[in-house]
Amino acid sequence: AAAAEVDIRHESVETADGVDIEVAANIGTLADLGPAVDRGADGVGLFRTEFLFLDRESPPDEDEQYEAYVKALESFEDGRVVVRTLDIGGDKPVPYLDLPDEENPFLGERGIRRSLGPDADLFETQVRALLRAAASADGANLSVMLPLVSTVEELRAGRERFESVAADLDSEGVENELPEFGIMVETPAAAFMADRFAPHVDFFSIGTNDLAQYVMAAERGNERVSDLGDYRQPAVLRAIDATVSATEGEDCWVGMCGEMAGDPDLTELLVGLGLDELSMSAVTVPQVKAAVAETDTADARELAERVLQADTKAEVAEILTLDQ
């Protein structure tokens, strides 16, 4: 039996019919890097950088952030490290930032909205650190993405920040490089407008935790509405399908970094929907890699087509033969 077992660590995985699927890990702090490497992640699909800002009295400076990003890159020699710029607000408070008291923080000033607004200085520091880290990468590739984007203007403004900060660094003689650039698709607006975003980015990463919350108007973490906020709801699946379909003919890969990506019972469906990369908590990386290796993409596409015909979550679950 031992001979039949494949050690999937540090081996990229492909489907039974030979399609590469990247299986990456989500990290919050540098302490998450060890488990990500040990479990055989191909890279980091989501570095939640707000964790660098939590549990302290003041924000990390440019050098501290630079070191953190370089550490992540060094952990994955040939892999990709996707760093998400600050996603503060909503459920992620930071005491020294003096966040506004909002009635509906999930619908308020969070993510890119703060980075282009009250946290513009913090954003600039982070962008400087990222541009420097991208230049230092030797082997691994740095990618950056913006959280909670809902308009093309936000994407443009975010991108312009990277370009203008790069020009500043150039004029200071500081080595820097523009990283691969993407956005998270985690608002219905981004899913509806995905065809307009796609030409301006290198990739999308679908954040199903927020996407399910906003598509279904069901607060994440609220058990009273957890059945509604489930990523197996047909409306959520349609939003994912619309996002992937919008990239057809565009040079734009699509990943997923919400919890759904780490559910091995859904791997075949996600491959069938056309995801190129799945990023999850390190603990499920081996299971998802094993599920990818068993998947045939033609069967997976057929499964996805059937699932997209479902009227209800119960029907989705039935098709996927899941316990409900």
User: Which residue ranges make up the site for ligand PEP (CB under 6 A)?
Assistant: 46, 48, 87, 186, 207-210, 257-258
Question: What letter represents residue 162's amino acid?
Answer: F
207 binds Mg ion (CB under 5 A): yes
Burial class of residue 90 in the structure, from the number of CB atoms within 10 Å of its CB (0-12 exposed, 13-18 middle, 19+ buried): buried
> With binding defined as CB under 5 A, does residue 263 bind Mg ion?
no
Tell me the three state secondary structure of residue 82: strand
Quote the least distance from Cβ 211 to Mg ion, whole Å: 8
For position 229 contacting Mg ion by CB under 5 A, the verdict is no
Residue 60, interface with Mg ion (CB under 5 A)?
A: no
Phi, psi of 250 (to 5 degrees): -105, 155
Nearer to ligand PEP, 115 or 208 (CB): 208
Closer CB to ligand PEP, 165 or 282, in the complex: 282
CB atoms within 10 A of CB 121: 9
In the bound state with ligand PEP, the residue whose beta carbon lies nearer, of 190 and 292, is: 190
Closer residue to ligand PEP in complex, CB, 87/241: 87
Least Å distance between CB 225 and ligand PEP?
Answer: 16
Between 217 and 314, name the residue whose CB sits nearer to Mg ion. Answer: 217
Distance from C-alpha of 45 to C-alpha of 26, rounded to nearest angstrom? 6
Least separation in angstroms between CB 127 and ligand PEP: 19
State which residue, 210 or 241, has the beta carbon closest to Mg ion. Answer: 210
Q: How far is CA 266 from CA 12, 230, 270, 320, 322, in A?
A: 19, 13, 6, 8, 9
Of residues 48 and 113, the one with the C-beta less far from ligand PEP: 48
Block residue for tokens 């609220």: 222
- Please answer whether residues 265 and 307 qualify as being in contact, where contact means their C-beta atoms are separated by less than 8 angstroms: no
d(Cα 55, Cα 60) in Å, to the nearest integer? 11
Of the candidates 206, 175, 179, which has an alpha carbon nearest to the alpha carbon of residue 80? 179
Residue closer to Mg ion by CB (options 110, 313) is 110
Query: Does 210 interact with Mg ion (rule: CB under 5 A)?
Result: yes
Q: What distance lies between CA 22 and its chain's CA centroid?
A: 12
Tell the smallest beta-carbon distance from residue 6 to ligand PEP (Å). 28
The span from the first CA to the last CA of the chain, in angstroms, equals 33
Residue with tokens 């050690």: 7
List the single partner that 151 binds among Mg ion, ligand PEP, none, CB under 5 to 8 Å by kind. Answer: none
Cβ pair 73, 129 in contact under 8 A: no
Sole window of 70-78, 131-139, 174-182, 204-212 interacting with Mg ion (rule: CB under 5 A): 204-212
Find which of Mg ion, ligand PEP, none residue 258 binds, CB within 5 to 8 Å per kind.
Answer: ligand PEP
CB of 51 to ligand PEP, least distance (A): 10
Residue type at 132 in one-letter notation: R
Q: Of ligand PEP, Mg ion, none, which one does residue 48 interact with (CB within 5 to 8 Å by kind)?
A: ligand PEP
Rounded to the nearest 5°, which phi and psi values hold at 142? -95, 135
Q: Which does 257 bind (CB under 5 to 8 A by kind): ligand PEP, Mg ion, none?
A: ligand PEP
Q: Could you tell me the smallest distance in angstroms from the CB atom of residue 49 to ligand PEP?
A: 10
Question: Given the rule CB under 5 A, which residues bind Mg ion?
Answer: 186, 207, 210
